[in-house]
Amino acid sequence: MSKLADKVAIVTGSGRGIGKAIAAALQSEGAKIVISDINEEACKETSEELSKSGEVIAVACNVTDTASIEKMVAAVMEKWGRIDVLVNNAGITRDDLFMRMSEDKWQAVIDTNLTSAFKVTKPVLKVMSKQRSGRIVNIASTTGVHGNFGQCNYAAAKAGLIGFTKTIALEYASRQITSNAVAPGFIDTPMTAALGEENIKKYLERIPLGRMGTPEDIAAAVVFFAAYAPYVTGTVLEVNGGLYT
């Protein structure tokens, strides 16, 4: 299938985990891929891997740094002259219960998971507006919809990202640019592996479908918005195995 043939897709935080799977899935729909990550090594390795099956460039980028973002967008425009899909995926966790949550942990998560989308989307929407087409997909979280113990910073950032998604949808619909969010549940990546076996077991007991999600489960939802949903905008799709609390 090549629904995204000749289209250019940027995936932030695509050196590993969910972002890497999203990049691979968009590539298998025919897109040219921009692998972008703060981790230069991961960025390089993943782009080398994906370049075996399509056109890929690696651009190291820190999504909290406006200058770094501008450099990335300039590199993509120089190489391919267009941007059709932006996936705001890069994110971190700095968990703690509310009373123990430090301002540093709060701010780091707001900066990396929310303000980053504002910063990256701005130059990309300038390009998409001129093209009068584009797909923005933001990776939120079920935590942003329902809250979660120990994640007030993350929940606030992801809820903010959902509000951002819906507003961009309204402001850019007239230019045929859609903006949607995918809200993953509990997905098997290095981020969740850090929680340790005991915690993972506890989560698993609560998931109706009885397993953790895979990065590919999330990638399929992103491909839907990016390639198969021209009439869907401003929506949040939870991909969570039935875990709604």
Determine which residue in the list 4, 7, 11, 13 makes contact with ligand NAI, applying CB under 6 A.
13
Count Cα atoms within 13 angstroms, Cβ side, for 20. 18
**19 lies in the site for ligand NAI, by CB under 6 A:** yes
231 labelled catalytic: no
Least spacing, CB of residue 160 vs ligand NAI, in Å: 13
Token pair of 37 as six digits: 């990550």
Determine which residue in the list 139, 221, 223, 237 makes contact with ligand NAI, applying CB under 6 A.
139
Token pair of 129 as six digits: 């507006």
Q: Which stretch binds ligand NAI (CB under 6 A): 51-59, 123-131, 188-196, 220-228?
A: 188-196
**184 lies in the site for ligand NAI, by CB under 6 A:** yes
C-alpha span between 93 and 191 (Å, rounded): 8
Q: CA-CA-CA-CA torsion for 34, 38, 42, 44, nearest 10 degrees?
A: 50
Determine which residue in the list 106, 164, 172, 186 makes contact with ligand NAI, applying CB under 6 A.
186
**11 lies in the site for ligand NAI, by CB under 6 A:** no
Buried b (16+ CB within 10 A) or exposed e, 66-85: eebbeebbebbeeebebbbb
Nearest to 115 by CA among 80, 172, 77, 156: 156
Determine which residue in the list 37, 84, 217, 238 makes contact with ligand NAI, applying CB under 6 A.
37
Considering only residues 56-95, where is the footprint of ligand NAI by CB under 6 A?
Answer: 61-64, 89-92
C-alpha span between 130 and 40 (Å, rounded): 31
**217 lies in the site for ligand NAI, by CB under 6 A:** no
Which residues would be at the binding site for ligand NAI (CB under 6 A)? 12-13, 15-19, 37-39, 42, 61-64, 89-92, 112, 139, 141, 184, 186-187, 189-192
